Structures are given as C-alpha cells and as structure tokens.
Structure 1
Amino acid sequence: MKGLKRVDTVIKLKTPNKKAAEPCSPVEALQLYRRMHRKSARLDSFAVLSALKACSHLRDNLPLTRHLHAHLLKLGFATHLYVATCLLSVYSPTIFRDARLLFDEMPTRSAVTWNIMITGYSKQGDVSAARLMFDTMPHRVSSSWSAMIAAYIDNSLWHHGISLFRLMMTGSRSLRPDQLTLGPILAGCGRLSSVGLALGKSMHAFAVKNKWELNVELGSCLVDMYAKCGVLENARLVFDTMKQRNVVAWTALIHGAAQHGQGREALRVFEKMREAGVKPNDVTFTGVLAACVQAGLVEEGRGYFATIGRPRIQHYGCMVDLYGKAGLVREAYRVIETMPYEANAVVWGSFLSACKLHKQLDMVDEAIDEVKRVMSPDNDGGLYSLISQLYLLCGRASEAQAIRDLNVRKIRASTFITTGN
C-alpha cells in the first residue's frame, strides 16, 4: 500500500522535548490509529501498544478502552504478552474488576503483569489480596518487592513495609534495593520515629556508598524522612546539597519545621521558596498555615490564607484552629459559617477545643448539634470525650454522662463486630 509503509511509527505519542515544547497528543495518536484501520494498513503490536498508551492519557477512557480491547481481540493480539499487559495497566486504575478478569485469562504473565495487580489491589485498599499476589507470583524481581513494600506504606502499614524490606535484604535471594524501593521505605521511616530514623540513616548511607546521584526524587524523599523524624539539621543539609529542588522538597522542609515547633523557620523557608520561583501547592499552604498556628501568628495566617487561589477544607480547618487557639472563637465560627464546604468532625473538633480552652460556652450547643450530625461511627472517642467535658463545664452533668454512656456502647459494639468477623 503506497503511502502507508511504516505508517505505524507515527502513532507514538508526541511528548515535550528541549527543541519543541509540543504537548502530548493522545487524541491525535488515536485518530491516526483509526485512519490506519480504515485504510486497511497492517497494524502490528507496536501500533496497538501506542494506541493503548494514548488511551491511558484520556479521562473517562473506559468506553474507548473496551473498544480497543475488542479490536485487538479481532486482530489476534489477545495472547500477546506486552499488549495484554499494557491493556491491564489501562484497566487497573479505572475498573479493577475487568483488570482481574483479564489477568486470569492471560496465558503468560511477566513480573510487570504481577506488579500491576499488586499495585491495583493496593489502590483498592485490599493489601491482603496484594500480598497474596506477591506470594503467588512465580518469580519476584526487585520491582515486585518495591510494589509490595509501597502497598504497605501507602496503606499506612509502616511496620509491615519495613519488615518486608528487611526480608528482601536478608532472604535467601537477597536483592539490592534501587531508588524505586528506597522511596516508599524512606516514607515509612518518617512515620516510625527513632526506629525509622535509624533505618532511614542506613538507607542514606547506602545511597552515598553506592554513589547514587542526589537527584530531585531521592533528595526529596530524604528531606521528607529527616523532617518527619524531627532531625531538621539533616533535612536542611540534604536540601542544601540538592542541585535541583522541586515543590516536594520545599514543602517537606516547611512541614518539618512547623510540626516540630519552628513555626517562624517554616515561614522563612516558605519565603525563600517564593524567591526561588517555586509555585506552592495545597500541601505547602497547609504547612504554612500550620506554622502560623504553631507560632500564634494570626495576621500572618490571614495574609497567607488570602493568597490561596482555591482554599481546601484543610486550609479552612487551619484557620479555625488558628483563630480558636488565639481566643478569637467568634472569628473561628465565622470561618465555619462562610466556608464553601460542610465542616467535618475535625473542623468542629478544633472549634470545640477552642471553646473549652477559652471557656467560651455560649456557642457550644449549636456546635455540638452539628458535630453529632457529621461525626463518623468510627470516631476514636476523642470527640465524645470533648463533648462530655464541655457539658460538665456548662454544669450539665446528666448530658455529660449520657455522652459517656453512648461512647461506651459504641466501643462495645465495635469490639463485638471485630471479634465476630
């Protein structure tokens, strides 16, 4: 066919490069794929893979993914390992049930195939199923261990993730960690105080010993780990050593200072970040407002809040906390009244804590009614205890006792359900 020779090569997604800032064009790639099909051009695995990759870049891509799936079945690519694996990676984030069906039908699977399923189950919050996949796969490579470790860390099972990492390092087929493994491990270390710090330092030493480049990804992970562990000197040392710094590294430093009693230092870092031309994100502003709360800087907090384009509920929550701790309880209440979100239990909890701290009880009844309405059945009891204490401060002992009794019944019911399973 004249004009169609090697036409499949143009299916590749357009990606930005130094010479031309051309955006990724998944729609154009898929249009070329359709033109090839209509002109009866030979569609090989490369063209199919490129079309699937283009599809993965589109929102609401499920109908188109199903259409491509049907087409590649007609073309005879159903058993092609790379095509099936690519299709699996497209299904997994959108409709995991179909991904599982496809996985079960695959005659051959690679380590990548298994890793996609481990990550998929992790995103579903089903870590047990992810671990079963990990234990079942016939051959585990370093990336498989990384995927399972990340599954634990992403689901806040820090100890499990670090235990698996130690097994990876000391098992009969011990594997050397790579930077893909190190990222989630350092994230877990940041959650385990002194135990995590010791392991995090050893991982840092491992990276130095192996002469790994302190790139943006590794540097940001190390800064975040040291900052969460409260070793701000080390966090700053790594940060100063980095040749390039992204918003993650700056934000980690800001949060670390704010969380460990150095509110003014956190704000100083934020101003440096602005001077460097790095655009803050929502997480950055949460750290900045938390620093204002920690240092009691009401006016500064107002100013920073005003610069946020579209404040999230966590930003409003910080303002409630800031006003409340400063004794400006009515201003805290006005924030709750005017915010475009429904206040959750965390926001109301901050407000009630301020009422208790400053003995301002005139708005307690209305706030308690709202808290009861939004309070989750899984609440840990902290809000029940707070409400009970407020009732006692108001001289309403019978209502305080009723709340305590309700909390006891909730705990007993929860225990019964847990053991019943």
Structure 2
Amino acid sequence: MPPPYKALDLYFQMHRRSIPFDSFSVLFTLKSCTRLQSLIIIRHMHSHIIKLGFITHVYVATSLLHAYVVTSFSNACLLFDEMPERNTITWNTMITGYSRSGNINKARAIFEEMTLRDVTSLSAIIKAYFDHGYWGKGLSLFREMISSAEIKPDLVTVGTVLSSCVNLGALALLVGKSVHGFTVKNGWELNVQIGTILVDLYAKCGYMKNAFRVFDLMQERNVMSWTALICGAAQHGFSQEALILFKMMQKTNVRPNELTFTGILNACTLSGMVEEGRKYFKMIEEYGLEHRIQHYGCMVDLLGKAGLLEEAYEVIKTMKFKTNVVIWGSFLSACKEHKQFDMAESVIEQILSAIDPENDGGIYALICDLYALNEKWDDAERVRKLMLDQNVRKARGSSFIRS
C-alpha cells in the first residue's frame, strides 16, 4: 500500500477505535490526501473535519484549502470565502491557485487585499507574472522588492525569479544584474543554486566576463556550475577555454554529465578539432555515461565540416536513436559544401521517407539545391513537384529578440 493510503488507513483506524484526534493528526492526513489528488477523498475529509470541529482551526483550514487548490479550485474559492480566520499562508495559497488557473488579475487583487505580506507573498505574485508572460510587471515588482526596506527577498525568492526568466535574453540579463548587485550589496555568499543560474544566465547572454566573475566568487561548485560555464564558452566561440575548463573540472574530481560532453563536443565542432572530438566522444563511455542524440549530432557536424563524410555516415549508422532532421540537415549541408553529391544521393530517398513535409521544408529545399548543383534537373524538378503535392513550406526566419 502506498504511503498516502497508509496514512489515510491509520487515520480511519483511529476514528473506528474512538481515539481522540488533534490538529497534527488531521494535518498529516490532509497532506497525504493532497498527494493522492482525489477530490472524493478530499471532500470526505472536509466533512469529517467539520464534524470534529477543526474547520475553525486556521492551520487545518489552510491545509484543506491547499488540497482543494490542487484538486478543484472552485471548491477552494468557496472554502476561502467561508474561512473565519486567515493567515499569510492562506492568502499565499490563493495567489498560487489563481495563478495556476490563469487568472493573474485576481491573483494580484488577492495580493493587494492582504493586510500582512511576507517574502513568500511577493515571490508568489512575481512568479505568477513570469509564468504567464507578464515579464515587465514581474520585473517591476521584483525591483520594488529589492529596493524596499520592508520586505527583502531571500535565496528561495531569488532562485525562483532567476529560474523563471533564465531563457529570456535581455530581460533575463536585467534580472540577473539586479540579483547580482543585490547579493553583493547585502554581502550574501553565492550558493551553488543562485551562482549556477547566474553563470548560466550571463553565459547565454554572451557576458562571459560576468559569468567567470560569478563563478570565481562561488564558494561551492557542482557539475551544473562547471557545465554552464563550459557550454557558454563553447557557444560564444571560446573553444580552447571550454577545453581548459573541462580539464580543471576533472582535476577538482567533479564528475561530468551528458550535458557537459555536449558542450565540449560543441566546442570541438565550432573550432574544427576533429581529433579532440573523437577523444571526447569515446570518453563519454569511459565515464559510464550513454551517448545522447546531441553527441551524435555534434560528431556528424564536426566530421562533415571537416570533409570526412564517410566517417560521419558511419556515426549515423551506429546511432541508437532514430536520425532526426537536424542530423540529416547537417550531413546534407556538408555534402553540399564539399560537393560530395554521390554521398548525398545515397541517402536522399531514405531522408525523404523519414521527414515530415509540414515541418521539415528546409530539407526539401536543400535536396533540390544538391540535385541542381549536380545538374540533375529531372530529380530537382521531381522534388519540387513533391513539395507542391505535399504542400511543403519552408519555415520563415524568426527572432525572439525583444525591443
């Protein structure tokens, strides 16, 4: 019997034996019921709590409220309206509930209605804004929080905010700089979570000096800290630095993971370091890790750019995964670059049978180019006709850069 059901069974054994309940036994049982996410059981517990007279107990009522937020938010709203006493946790629970239901305006209204707020309240409404794409409002509130003398963010809040916007480019950079400045001003030591997120954020935005500065300030580093810096260095063309970082990581006895090797292989690909790429590709298994499709993709790209197309094709054939459009595209691009038309033709029919006409229009265009460059006009026309028949469209270029 799973632990939540065991707790529920023990609760009703107490009831059958007329053993008196206290608020702690009720709270622990409610916690187990919440994990089960069964509305029928929650409602049964609700009626039992009313009979026992615990519904006026603010902690019990708040725990019940949380159970309803997880299972049925409409019931949570009814219970909230009926509660004679509420504490800060009660209000925070409703902010989270309205955020999950997508009603950000009501979440903010609940926040404004609160007579006493704490750092969790601010964290909840900021996270609600970020989760639903209201980046400007979330950032504005976060800056107010940082500058406020009343409520200061803690490490949990900072981690939540950074995690929510780490992939948002310029906006993430603004948040990262605000957080970085706040930690320095308050004399905080950068823990491994906050430090890693900041390193990752700066590295993705191309601010490698800032990433290295934060990394040096960290008192403790784990595999994700090292990996964030390695991947960032590789992404922005610092391939030699990425390899040096990997060797430093090995010396500190931090064990790399699959993502670390993706960064290293990417560094080798961008700099055309074939021998190093082969070495690190083999090293993945030496560490007892499994090759991922990203690793194969990097090797195909590396070997293809170096003109080693037969070896690149051997890598494709030895893959444990179904070859995706990215790898095929990389291989065909290398064939085009090195004018290896026979090699390309040997796999074209295999590729055409595997790709999706609705999403992989770029591959069709690339195949047409290969046939045209090899002066096989009939084959090029056949592929163009296939594109028309299957309504293939090449995706337009797009950007996520914000003004």
Length-normalised TM-score, structure 2: 0.73
Distance in 1 (alpha carbons) for counterparts of 2:68 and 2:122: 21
1:215 maps to which of 184, 187, 191: 191
Cα deviation, residue 244, structure 1: 0.9
Instruction: Determine if the alignment matches structure 1 residue 166 to structure 2 residue 147.
Output: no
Aligned alpha-carbon RMSD (Å): 3.9
Native 8 Å contact 2:234 2:267 kept in 1: yes
Cα deviation, residue 221, structure 1: 1.6
Cα deviation, residue 257, structure 1: 0.9
Q: Within 5 A, what are the aligned runs for 1:96-175? A: 98-100=71-73, 103=76, 106-108=79-81, 110-116=91-97, 118=99, 120=100, 129=102, 131=104, 134=107, 137=110, 139=112, 141-152=121-132, 160-162=134-136, 164-166=138-140, 169=143
Partner AA of 2:188 in structure 1: W
Cα deviation, residue 138, structure 1: 5.2
Q: Once the two structures are superposed, what CA deviation does each residue of 1:268-315 show, in whole Å capped at 9, x if it has no partner?
A: 212222332323233222212212222323322332333352222222
Cα deviation, residue 376, structure 1: 4.6
Distance in 1 (alpha carbons) for counterparts of 2:75 and 2:240: 54
1:362 maps to which of 342, 347, 360: 342
Distance in 2 (alpha carbons) for counterparts of 1:315 and 1:101: 47
The 10-residue stretch of structure 1 (360-369 or 27-36) with the greater mean CA deviation from structure 2: 27-36
2:278 maps to which of 299, 308, 311: 299
Counterpart in the other structure of 2:84: none
Greater RCO structure (CA 8 Å; 6+ sep): 2
Distance in 1 (alpha carbons) for counterparts of 2:333 and 2:239: 21
Partner AA of 1:336 in structure 2: I
Larger radius of gyration: 2
The 10-residue stretch of structure 1 (183-192 or 233-242) with the greater mean CA deviation from structure 2: 183-192
Cα deviation, residue 350, structure 1: 1.9
What is the total number of aligned residue pairs between the two structures?
360
Cα deviation, residue 253, structure 1: 0.6
Cα deviation, residue 250, structure 1: 1.1
Q: Within 5 A, what are the aligned runs for 1:344-383? A: 344-365=324-345, 367-376=347-356, 379=359, 381-383=361-363
Q: What's the secondary structure of 2:237's corresponding residue?
A: coil
Instruction: Determine if the alignment matches structure 1 residue 192 to structure 2 residue 169.
Output: yes
2:371 maps to which of 391, 400, 405: 391
Instruction: Determine if the alignment matches structure 1 residue 255 to structure 2 residue 231.
Output: yes
Distance 1:273-1:82 versus aligned 2 partners, 3 A rule: farther
Counterpart in the other structure of 1:329: 309
Counterpart in the other structure of 1:50: 28
Identity of aligned residues (%): 35
Cα deviation, residue 323, structure 1: 2.4
Partner AA of 1:50 in structure 2: F
Partner AA of 1:247 in structure 2: V
Distance 1:166-1:210 versus aligned 2 partners, 3 A rule: same
Native 8 Å contact 2:361 2:392 kept in 1: no
- Structure 1 unaligned runs (5+)? 1-25, 92-97, 122-128, 413-421
Cα deviation, residue 142, structure 1: 1.0
Q: What's the secondary structure of 1:310's corresponding residue?
A: coil
Cα deviation, residue 214, structure 1: 1.4
Counterpart in the other structure of 1:37: 12
Distance in 2 (alpha carbons) for counterparts of 1:283 and 1:53: 36
Distance in 2 (alpha carbons) for counterparts of 1:99 and 1:161: 28
Partner AA of 2:177 in structure 1: K
Native 8 Å contact 2:300 2:330 kept in 1: yes
Partner AA of 1:46 in structure 2: F
Length-normalised TM-score, structure 1: 0.70
Q: Once the two structures are superposed, what CA deviation does each residue of 1:183-234 show, in whole Å capped at 9, x if it has no partner?
A: 46546366425x7545533432122123333111221122112211222222
Distance 1:251-1:49 versus aligned 2 partners, 3 A rule: farther
